[in-house]
Amino acid sequence: MIKSNRVLIVVILATLLLAALPFVGLNLYLVSFLFLLMMNISLTVGWNIIGGYAGYVSFGHVAFVGVGGYTTAVLLAKFNLSPIITTPLAGIVAALVALVVGYPALRLRGPYFSLITLVISLAIAAVVLNIPGINAASGIFLSAPSGDIHSSRLILFEMMVVVLLFTILCAYFIEKSKFGIGLKAIREDEVVAATQGVNTTNLKLLAFVISGGLAGIVGGVFSWYKGLVFVDAMFSVNISVMIVLMALLGGTHSWIGAVVGSVLVMVINEFLTLSIGSNLSQIIFGILLVVTILFIPNGIVGWIEAQMHKFKKKAKG
Amino acid sequence: MVELMQAILSGFLIGLAYALLSVGFSLNWGAVGGINVSHSAWAVFGAYIAYFVTSQLNLNPLLSLVIIIPLFFLIGVVLNKTLFMFLAKRSKNIGFSSMVLTFGLAVALENIMMWVFTADPRVLKSDFSLTSYNLGSVYISGGQILAALLSIFSLGLIFYFLYHTYTGKAVRAYEQEQAGAALTGINTGKVTSVTTGISLASAGVAGVALSLLFPFEPTIHMTWLINIFLVVLLGGVGNILGTLIGGLAVGMIITVSGVWVPYSLVNLVMFVILILILIIRKRET
């Protein structure tokens, strides 16, 4: 127990430090970069609840980001409700959508599940584009949180810090709980898990709903950050794919892997894009992905754990 | 009524090209177990080769096949001997890890094409592809005829290979039972290499066919890939005849529903059909 409390304290201290960063004079570029970094960490950690713990690799998580984003966008544009209040609502709407689509989709396994989630995200994007009265095709304009760009970015930044902390705490407690152990049992062997009395259907669905809800919350903040909301951007397949890559690179068995993967991908991507241009950096990125899946299929954290395990074995004799 | 006839005809012709695009993907998934999401990116590369053969050398786009078929077959064999076989040895979950690996390939290939060929949309222009023929009240373009003939011919060739040659039968045997095929003396390394080679070669040919039908640019491979998914899941993984039917169905659903509903809803119609089919056929998974 002492050890797990220590992890919690580190997480909370790190979050406080992160929250204080913009006040010590970071420029606008770094604040924006950190915002996107936190957004991707939140998405990946949230995705990992169904994709990593339960092993149901969703390629359509952007659907929930988009649904959450459009919830806050419509509420702000039509009813002038601030996303600070409505972001939790975005999460609830996304969770409801996850409940409706998850029930049939989770009956499929392996690549079929990945494909159906991908298609569902495309279908939801097409539905949102055709909802009458919200002008999705021409884009929704959202007024900024504040007249001044610095304080606008600051408000959004602090909102994302809260979302990030909430997501990590969710993942942390799920990982430690009986629920999390049930999910891991599903990942290892679903049939055996079911015969051992794990209610696999409900567990998977709950994990999918939580995961989708968390993505919806992130989307709620993201659409405000965007300012002008388009279906193509909010439902971009790229976001779904990036989430999977980040989780895979870091390792999907714990939330720490998701954090490590997102930080690495975001930093490497930003560095390469700035130094050698977008195309070349994407080429290197693609090759990096090939190398990752070939040589460290369990991700960086999984690889480090395996090395430590070997080391301990050697030390014992 | 004329509009509907026209939609059915173009849907049929486009559907043939989609079937050819999907057949290699389906074969690879069914026989080797690898889900090659870079399949459509290679098809786009094939389309570029056809484009440059036509625009730079002023030759018939079909002559590009002389380069494309051996080159793509070779690329497929090399990819199998290096990446895929290595992955198959190390991975427990080949379906998922091959998706990730080939996605990396697709991203790299897309950006190499973006870099070399630029992001400008290209349209293959040759004498016959721009002339259109009048069949009673409906019209058909030379490009459509050529693409359809190319697709039918290639599909027929693949069908003949799989059902009437020793290697083709070995591929099908391997698809049904990998260990059993190995036990009867089938060289499994050769079978998987031939399968990926044919799969990629068919992607290249399909790229030529699609370049005769649509304008293209490096990023279009994502759209083509989604069409492949639709066709393969409709037709059944590894099922050649199913792929043909699936391709025709997708082509016709796109064009025929386009007669009544706006384009954004056409996609929705297709996605809903696909989701329903996936759920109904879940026992196969």
C-alpha B122/C-alpha B218 separation (Å) is 10
Alpha-carbon dihedral of residues A263, A269, A271, A277, nearest 10 degrees? -170
Given CB atoms, is B96 within the 8 Å cutoff of chain A?
yes
The minimum CA-CA distance between A267 and chain B, rounded to whole Å, is: 18
Return the number of other C-beta atoms located less than 10 Å from residue B85's C-beta: 18
Q: Domain range for residue B203?
A: 2-284
One-letter identity of residue B228: I
What's the pLDDT at B30? 87
Given CB atoms, is B271 within the 8 Å cutoff of chain A?
yes
Report whether pLDDT(B41) > 90.
Answer: yes
State the average pLDDT over residues B244-255. 91
C-alpha A239/C-alpha A63 separation (Å) is 10
What's the pLDDT at A221? 94
State the average pLDDT over residues B103-109. 91
Mean pLDDT, chain B, rounded, equals 88
C-alpha B203/C-alpha B17 separation (Å) is 10
What's the pLDDT at B283? 53
* % chain B with pLDDT above 70: 98
Which tens digits make up the pLDDT trace of B12-37?
A: 999 999 999 999 999 999 888 889 99
Mode of pairing for the β-strands spanning A140-141 and A228-229: antiparallel
Which of A285, A288, A294 has the CB atom closest to B86's CB atom?
A294
**Sequence-ordered strand ranges (E) for B14-147:** 132-135, 138-141
Query: ∠ CA A292-A295-A298 to the nearest 5 degrees?
Result: 70
Tell me the ipTM for this assembly.
0.82
Report whether pLDDT(B262) > 60.
Answer: yes
Given CB atoms, is A186 within the 8 Å cutoff of chain B?
no
Chain-chain contact of A289 with B103 (C-beta, under 8 angstroms): yes
Given CB atoms, is A99 within the 8 Å cutoff of chain B?
no
Residue B99: which CATH number? 1.10.3470
Report whether pLDDT(B140) > 50.
Answer: yes
C-alpha B250/C-alpha B21 separation (Å) is 12
Report whether pLDDT(B252) > 80.
Answer: yes
Higher-confidence residue of B119 and A169: namely A169
Which of B100, B104, B115 has the CB atom closest to A279's CB atom?
B115
The class that CATH gives domain A2-244 is mainly alpha
Report whether pLDDT(B284) > 60.
Answer: no
Best of B103, B113, B269 to substitute, by most chain A Cβ atoms within 10 angstroms, is: B103
Which of B91, B95, B111 has the CB atom closest to A283's CB atom?
B111
Number of separate domains in chain B: 1
Q: Categorize the per-residue pLDDT at B285 as very low, low, confident or very high, splitting at 50, 70 and 90.
A: very low
Given CB atoms, is B254 within the 8 Å cutoff of chain A?
no
Whether the CB-CB separation of A227 and A50 falls below 8 Å is answered with no
Return the domain boundaries, chain A.
Answer: 2-244
Per-position pLDDT tens, chain A of length 317: 456 678 888 888 988 888 888 888 778 888 899 999 999 999 999 999 999 999 899 989 999 999 999 999 999 988 888 888 899 999 999 999 999 999 888 988 888 888 889 888 988 988 898 888 777 777 888 887 777 878 888 899 999 999 999 999 999 999 999 999 999 999 988 889 989 888 889 999 999 999 999 999 999 999 999 888 888 888 988 888 889 889 988 888 889 999 999 999 999 888 888 888 888 888 888 888 888 888 888 888 888 888 888 888 888 76
